[in-house]
Chains A and B, each alone.
Chain A
């Protein structure tokens, strides 16, 4: 690893100040991607700013809807997840499990237990790895990415592999979304890396709109699949997926599988997301 200057900050504002003055500072969230990248000398930030002790960036809050004083977990609740919330914390959050368990399951299958103890949702979203799981969820849930400067719609935020709408000095503080009426995630892990080779997140919002986002398979990162969305809007069932033609065009081919194989996986994972 190249030399770097370490900073631990107590607030995003403090981090912002360092970002503004350092030559090439990077935010360190869980570090599960940044540290390996630095170890392999593929990144050489002048400074790293550790957010793990910053206040107010951690935890899941749910604004529940109550009907006659009883919590109704039927969609529409606002879920806000602090950027520094670890995958393990999301996976184990009982309240989230009540309103949208699919999100807990997704988090519980990112990386391995040690990675989940350290890796964060903010770090994952900021990195936008083309095979990461959270981008598919947030895109399908029409989530909002909150930064120290503004709020960004997921559809504007994810801009191709490792590309995001984040500007210089901008730090993710949280993500939020409305719990859907129904939804789930089907993930086919790459046999070696265990990242998604095809991960399909399906969400049907309370107003009936279905969004389907695919990670791991596209040549340019996470994307929405119009064909699957149309079919599932008409008929929210695995049968509807069978009738959809998933084209291999624009999908990745590598030593783990062809684009045609990934196209097949998208269909199968879409079905499993509904199960």
Chain B
């Protein structure tokens, strides 16, 4: 079957995008639509003394100006974090109040104070400028370490010392003992830089209130419209769930930043009700830097101990996680259950202990960004392994291989039970593809041109498809992380798949169709994927955490199982054969070994005419399923990066990037490779280019593309992407997930390569030309001193 599992099927969704016919939220115009602009705090921390909107309201064409106290009085609830994390001492996390529009205090630059609704976008902006807010400035803190220090400015009354939680995992005493007995201990301070996700489509929302029907519609740039509806309804009291339709049409990338329900969507819905007009808001890029949830921002110290044979005996980590001014939807899970549970990496480590202090600062809230916690874990363990190998004078690949987990299932000391993998196979495949054997010659050749060449490894493992629901619930999750699907076979035999997953670039319309094509032996053009609309799809948890394959597609498989059973029952009845003898192939439903058959569409028609179906069978051919996985999935792999550094300027060129991934079963290799390419680009971006920088006053210095370095075509290499797969035993298709691996695995490979090239291990991300040059100067001054 040319369009089934494993085929490089070209994407069904492309036609509308390449012809400019995509339908993104900002492309939509509702009748009598008004435009919103937000009055935002220019200060990182201040008390609101007074707000005077009279000048704005006096402007012709200004519909309304609405503020926080009125929002609270109308019963709109505070924005919540949906994952409860408990501190070492058993106390719950300290969640400070976050109102969609500030009431008394603002806590970061960009914090919304009022929503202005007007006839045009330009007028709304002018009116927002005309709103006079008097602030009493308060002292500011932007770094997590500084925020925990005594005497630091306090953000929230119920979070003394700005501490949200002080969480731990693993056993401290055995880990300390193991480290004390170690033959070699490597100790490092490791920072994971703060990033801005930057999907190319800025966030946008259009809210409509139909007064006659008491019904709301929200078009929004969301990765998970059903979760948005649930939270908007259950926690923010904007509208009851059955009176709120959320549509996420074409969405231009998310990378995590479009999971969350932001103040703007709440305020637009509320304002639409207040003024009886559709209200549209579209972020500009600067606003995106100031308000989209950021990612990463960890400051850690880590110790890893080895015995005399180079086997790891223990790992101890302390991490301070900067969560920004408020707790975003999944912010608490990122530096805890999505991070510390992966600190064992690909290695068999008996003793691990990690404690994490999550901290409030006067910065944009931090939440999941592509990888979410796993890139931080991978960077930490893979920098440690590379550094330890250098300190012990052993080959970094050999040190890793010696410590690989080799039998599965493998229970780590930090919750995760790895179900499958072959880390040696990935390492070997990557080494061959990267021609590691020829590196020395390439290094010498580069040196003859005055360039410094280096090579770095990263052997990552990550966890996708967070599950099962009962387990994540026991860890504090406020939702279940299953997925739903509905398979509708129409009377003419065409098929619609309604899925709770959401595609914002991942190509679900193609990949999901492929598994259906495979199962029923039909062309993908007869299969339509429906997603992104709460009125069409019953429910869904959306797309993030590389869950759409392992969880979303598994739900489709479960629903297809039911459809297949019914199809076979109908065919067996009509063809007067036993169900077990029925096979589906070549667009027909056949009795095996005979020439008796029904064409596929004839079965559909039979189901809907119901003239001749088994007695007692309900008519129709539509089945749904909710799939709850039994475990996480564990994609893993080996990345090898080779760089060339210009010592005069510090400019680093990635001359080769090799990936060997284990994603389990691959449905569409073309799409999977595309996911890896994009992930690696974001990983190289984190390692060499991207950095959110605040000054002491809490002003974001990097709030536009003039100062935030987005990876561009000439910053990046072609990627050499390979697969060495083991089947995942945890789901029916054997899939593991591929969306985040590139971003998780690549940063340490890059930094390990650059530090190898320059001979200085003291290099933080992003390794900009200036940073690499400075590190080279340090090497030279050390040499001069000796």
Contacts and interface: CB of A to CB of B under 8 A. Distances in A.
Contacts of A261: 650, 770, 773-774
Contact of B707 (A2, A40, A193, A264): A193
Contact of A192 (B125, B648, B710, B774): B710
Nearest to B715: A191
Contacts of B691: 255
Interface string A186-198: 0010011100000
Contacts of A192: 689, 702, 705-710
A154 to B, nearest CB: 26
A66 B768 CA distance: 49
A33 to B, nearest CB: 12
Interface in A1-55: 1-2, 40-41
A interface secondary structure, majority: loop
Interface in A219-275: 254-258, 261, 264-265, 268
Interface in B676-702: 689, 691, 693, 701-702
B649 interface: yes
Interface in A186-214: 188, 191-193
A123 B710 CA distance: 27
B126 interface: yes
B83 to A, nearest CB: 33
Interface residues of B, number: 25
Contacts of A268: 648-649
Contacts of B689: 191-192
Contacts of A188: 649, 769
A40 B287 CA distance: 11
A193 B770 contact: no
Contacts of B701: 254-255
Interface residues of A, number: 17
A40 B125 CA distance: 11
Given A191-B689, A192-B710, A264 B705 contact: no
Given A255-B701, A258-B770, A264-B773, A191 B709 contact: yes
- Of A1, A188, A192, A257, the most chain B CB neighbours within 10 A belong to A192
A265 B768 CA distance: 14
B475 interface: no
Nearest to B710: A192
Contacts of B715: 191
Contact of A193 (B125, B129, B705, B774): B705
B59 interface: no
Nearest to B691: A255
B707 A41 contact: no
Contacts of A193: 705-707
Interface in B737-786: 768-770, 773-774
Contacts of B126: 2
B774 A41 contact: no
A265 B701 CA distance: 23
A1 B122 contact: yes
Nearest to B769: A191
B645 to A, nearest CB: 14
Nearest to A265: B649
Contacts of B769: 188, 191, 257
A258 B774 contact: yes
Given A191-B715, A191-B768, A261-B773, 12 more contacts: A2-B122, A188-B649, A191-B689, A192-B706, A193-B706, A255-B691, A255-B693, A256-B707, A256-B768, A257-B769, A264-B773, A268-B648
24 contacts: A1-B122, A2-B122, A41-B125, A41-B129, A188-B649, A191-B715, A191-B768, A192-B702, A193-B706, A255-B691, A255-B693, A255-B701, A255-B707, A257-B768, A257-B769, A258-B770, A261-B650, A261-B770, A261-B773, A261-B774, A264-B649, A264-B773, A265-B649, A268-B649
Q: Which 3 A-B pairs have the closest CB atoms?
A: A257-B770, A192-B709, A193-B706
